[in-house]
Structure 1
Amino acid sequence: MEHIKNAKQEAYDCLIQRDVSKWSLLFDNGCRYSIMTTNASECFNGVLKCARGLPIQGLVMSIYYNLVSLFMRCSTEVEKWKMAAESDLVPRIMGMLQRTEREARRCPEPITINRGEFEVVDSACKTHKVEVLTPEKCACTCNKQQLHHLPFVHVISVAGHRRWNHNAFVSQYYTLNSYKVIYSGLFHVVPPNDVWPNFNEGAGIIPLLAPAFRRRAGRPRTTRFRNTMDEAQSSSNKRCGHCKRNGHNRETCSYNLASSR
């Protein structure tokens, strides 16, 4: 916040006046489960990209059948997972927990401060406090447990030390039953348009009119504007001899006017 304040006072004042829990992951009390992006909607937009140029009726039907396909596919997957009976958790969460378990084994044995408080030193030699509030709920000073609702290295280390099942600290929304409930909605066959209700202003069925604005000249843009979040981080160790920055050389340097000529 101090960096924002030094860069632009108006932006700092605007953020301070807003509810911090609406834009800060740290103060949202874990309601977002660490998700702060619109990647889910962007993925669905990619699925519907081929249908954006269709008329409205075709666009609606494309969205409908894509949703039907998604729900059917996910419902089939969860039934296969339940038949395998490997765990009550979805496979992605199980994979994350297994990786975290291997990392927790490299930590020293936790120190019991009292019955519900423990001191854990991780592999980076950083000390964290793990507080067990209830048998199914705990908190850690790294805040990962509160943000992700998943046991990470420090909590799993304490659970292994006390012979507890660390799966008890996993949120219920990561279970197969919750996954099944999410995609349990039913769809029905859309009736033919000859039985659709006609225009009736009293019943709230109004005609769909053309937009009140005119399209601009030229071909419409079909791809979204890319920003700095779309740029891949450079893994190159090259150092430019002109601007002394990493990731490129003198020939491709945007600050070298001689190379651009």
Structure 2
Amino acid sequence: MFENYETPDSGEESDDPDYEQGFCADVDSSTRDDADDEVDTTWGNVELPEEPYELDSEPERIEVGAVYPSYDALKEAVARENIRQFRQFQSVDKRARSWKAVCINPTICTWHIQAAAGMTSTKWKVKKYQPHHSCREDPVTARDDKILTAKLIASEIAPKVKVDPDYSIKLIMSDIYQKFDIRVSYKKAWNGRLIALERKFGNWEASYNELPMLLEAIQFSNPGTVVHLQSQQTGTPDTFEFRRVFWSFKASIDGFRFCLPVVSVDGTHLYGKYKGVLLVAVAMNANREIFPLAYAVVESENADSWSWFFARVMRDVVGSRRSVCIISDRHAGIESAFRSLPELRSPQVSKRYCLRHIRSNFMTKFRNAELKKLCWQAGSTATEQEFHNCMEQIRGINESAFLYLNEIPVEMWALSYDDGKRYGILTTNLSESFNNVLKGCRTLPITALVKATFDKVVQLFANRRHAGLMWHQAGFLYPQNIWKVVLERSQRRYHTTIVPHNRTTGFYSVAISEHDPVTIDLSRQECGCGYWKQNGLPCVHAYAVCRFLKITVDGLIPDVYSLNAYIRTYASDIMPINNYVNAMAETPHTLLPHTLLPPSMHCEFLI
């Protein structure tokens, strides 16, 4: 089915660079730095999907009778040998099943090679070979990159590309120079990487045409998986051009119901043959680990693409019945989406900014190490009093810096005014960490990228489902990271003075060691230190009162941190993808890679 689609004006691109990640911890904000984390962002290596392209083993040296799996393999072997000898060669006769090459100085050099392919085989056999050049060695001419082709570069870098598809072009150029003592152009190195990626992960153009079938196969194997594929008319019957795609696996949608009600969003550029941006939405599970929710490949980060992404996240993943806090940077496209999209203007949605992006933008205007430190402390401190103390220190250093921060709604960036909405999550660490995991996939064809997200979620669910079972068998009440916090706080021993004010309502004052007393309200689960409200986990003062009352703290820990919630997060099965390649021959549509088309030709292709 195709629906008309009009493209509204795009928002401005963000100038924010990439940032490291940081989360608040239950410690004194004066000593806490942005490196402190309360989230496990370890994902391990991404298991990339493999394509059936592997050359057979090649002979150790060129000689008469040597057999090569293909013409390209033979020619690359000859090129390597000539480069090693500081020589060059040229083809003088190339037919479908025969090849002859000579030295570039054939009048004075006897070097030559002849090879042929079998009538029913793709393998090539060396028939004649004169391995010695009788011409003079010419290091200057030999360092010309003429015979060091992009295909040869692809073969040389294939092992590294398999491990790291994001293998940088500059590093490729450096490695090729180290091996061959020949400098290749950026374009040739880039083409070499493209060829290596295509050999391993499939053709880019074919990948777009396979995409609808792959997504349909995922939906067939995992009913409830949400997919939106947006395409554009080309003017050719049954031929469409890719524009955007959104996908969220059913297991992730089900699992989110038992996660913390916080969603972090971020975008990262794709660097394959066809450019674009990968948008991701990530949540946090009961163990304070990243939980991937949804993905989209769009043309760029703009108002329309972010609104399109948020609409699908809110309607198809989050749903209308649950309150949620969304953490993001201040990209113009995101700001526009929050102003225009009804789902984001709901009272059930809280908007918060990434503190690291706030500080980074702040530092572009006010370059001062002390201001940098105070900006972070103001945003991460637990109490309103500490926040205002930091702001007054900023005012004392630079009035303009104070006014700049004061113009940002305080609840958007200051933890002390957050009212617990962001569960202590200061930054977009969640989504940035997941983007870092997918970093090796940013150069891949689009179907390989989708498969990588699927394979990662399969691996993630299997590992964490097993972990939950082990913790349950060990008698844990909470996932490991939360269990550690509970044990550490319950085992702390201080000189504590506790004064009951109202035992019925649970109102007490608590003084630990030489610190000033704070008030604590067990019924409202609030403490004057501010830390309880940060992430919902009882602070040390709450533990002290529980010891005073000789009760356990378990009743004060939210269910969202329970081991039961963790286990239910990963309860849904993710079934393997059925073979979809055969179905491609039956589809009447052709999907092409994205190029710019007039806005009036945009349409929606629904799966």
Go from structure 1 to structure 2 and tell me whether the alpha carbon gap of 1:9 and 1:98 turns closer, same or farther (over 3 Å shift): closer
Tell whether 2:479 aligns with 1:94: no
The equivalent of 2:593 in structure 1 is 209
Tell whether 2:499 aligns with 1:106: no
Go from structure 1 to structure 2 and tell me whether the alpha carbon gap of 1:151 and 1:13 turns closer, same or farther (over 3 Å shift): closer
Following superposition of structure 1 onto structure 2, how do residues 126-141 of structure 1 map, counting pairs within 5 Å? 126-133=516-523, 137-141=524-528
Aligned residue identity for 1:145: W
Tell whether 2:582 aligns with 1:194: yes
Structure 2 residue aligned with 1:179, among 544, 566, 569?
566
The equivalent of 2:6 in structure 1 is none
Shift of 1:50: 2.1
The equivalent of 2:554 in structure 1 is 167
Aligned residues: 200
Go from structure 1 to structure 2 and tell me whether the alpha carbon gap of 1:156 and 1:27 turns closer, same or farther (over 3 Å shift): same
Go from structure 1 to structure 2 and tell me whether the alpha carbon gap of 1:208 and 1:119 turns closer, same or farther (over 3 Å shift): farther
Q: Partners in 2 of 1:88 and 1:9 — Cα distance?
A: 45
Contact 1:199 1:207 in 2 (8 A): no
Q: Which runs of 5+ in 1 are unaligned?
A: 201-205, 214-261
Go from structure 1 to structure 2 and tell me whether the alpha carbon gap of 1:81 and 1:211 turns closer, same or farther (over 3 Å shift): farther
Q: Partners in 1 of 2:407 and 2:587 — Cα distance?
A: 48
Contact 2:464 2:570 in 1 (8 A): yes
Aligned residue identity for 1:27: Y
Q: Deviations over 1:38-95 (max 9, x none)?
A: 222233223222222111111111111011101111111101111111x311121121
Following superposition of structure 1 onto structure 2, how do residues 5-44 of structure 1 map, counting pairs within 5 Å? 6-8=399-401, 11-12=404-405, 14-16=407-409, 20-44=410-434
The equivalent of 1:75 in structure 2 is 465
Q: Which has the larger radius of gyration?
A: 2
Go from structure 1 to structure 2 and tell me whether the alpha carbon gap of 1:164 and 1:210 turns closer, same or farther (over 3 Å shift): same
Tell whether 2:468 aligns with 1:84: no
Q: Partners in 2 of 1:27 and 1:193 — Cα distance?
A: 53
Q: Deviations over 1:98-143 (max 9, x none)?
A: 221233x21324111222211111134221111122xxx5210011
Go from structure 1 to structure 2 and tell me whether the alpha carbon gap of 1:13 and 1:129 turns closer, same or farther (over 3 Å shift): closer
Contact 1:117 1:130 in 2 (8 A): yes
Shift of 1:163: 1.2
- Highest relative contact order (Cα 8 Å, sep 6+), 1 or 2? 2
How large is the RMSD of aligned CA atoms in angstroms? 2.5
More strand as a share of residues? 2
Q: Which runs of 5+ in 2 are unaligned?
A: 1-390, 598-607
Q: Partners in 1 of 2:477 and 2:595 — Cα distance?
A: 50
Q: Partners in 2 of 1:110 and 1:167 — Cα distance?
A: 20
Q: Which runs of 4+ in 1 moved over 4 A?
A: none
Contact 1:71 1:183 in 2 (8 A): yes
Go from structure 1 to structure 2 and tell me whether the alpha carbon gap of 1:28 and 1:194 turns closer, same or farther (over 3 Å shift): farther
Go from structure 1 to structure 2 and tell me whether the alpha carbon gap of 1:152 and 1:12 turns closer, same or farther (over 3 Å shift): closer
Following superposition of structure 1 onto structure 2, how do residues 210-225 of structure 1 map, counting pairs within 5 Å? 210-212=594-596
Q: Partners in 2 of 1:208 and 1:164 — Cα distance?
A: 65
The equivalent of 2:541 in structure 1 is 154
Aligned residue identity for 2:495: C
Q: Deviations over 1:187-241 (max 9, x none)?
A: 22223233258466xxxxx83532449xxxxxxxxxxxxxxxxxxxxxxxxxxxx
Tell me the secondary structure at the aligned position of residue 525 of structure 2: strand
Contact 1:109 1:161 in 2 (8 A): no
Go from structure 1 to structure 2 and tell me whether the alpha carbon gap of 1:113 and 1:186 turns closer, same or farther (over 3 Å shift): same
The equivalent of 1:223 in structure 2 is none
Provide TM-score, normalisation by structure 1. 0.68
Aligned residue identity for 1:11: Y
Q: Partners in 1 of 2:431 and 2:530 — Cα distance?
A: 27
Q: Partners in 2 of 1:109 and 1:208 — Cα distance?
A: 71
Contact 2:479 2:562 in 1 (8 A): yes
Aligned residue identity for 1:166: V
Go from structure 1 to structure 2 and tell me whether the alpha carbon gap of 1:57 and 1:160 turns closer, same or farther (over 3 Å shift): same
Go from structure 1 to structure 2 and tell me whether the alpha carbon gap of 1:212 and 1:13 turns closer, same or farther (over 3 Å shift): farther
The equivalent of 1:259 in structure 2 is none
The equivalent of 1:62 in structure 2 is 452
Go from structure 1 to structure 2 and tell me whether the alpha carbon gap of 1:99 and 1:65 turns closer, same or farther (over 3 Å shift): same
Aligned residue identity for 2:465: S
Aligned residue identity for 2:468: V
Q: Partners in 2 of 1:107 and 1:74 — Cα distance?
A: 39
Tell me the secondary structure at the aligned position of residue 185 of structure 1: coil
Aligned residue identity for 1:127: P
The equivalent of 1:125 in structure 2 is 515
Q: Deviations over 1:3-28 (max 9, x none)?
A: 37823477346414xxx433332222
The equivalent of 2:125 in structure 1 is none
Q: Partners in 2 of 1:121 and 1:148 — Cα distance?
A: 22
Contact 1:144 1:152 in 2 (8 A): yes
Q: Partners in 1 of 2:404 and 2:587 — Cα distance?
A: 50
Q: Partners in 2 of 1:126 and 1:31 — Cα distance?
A: 27
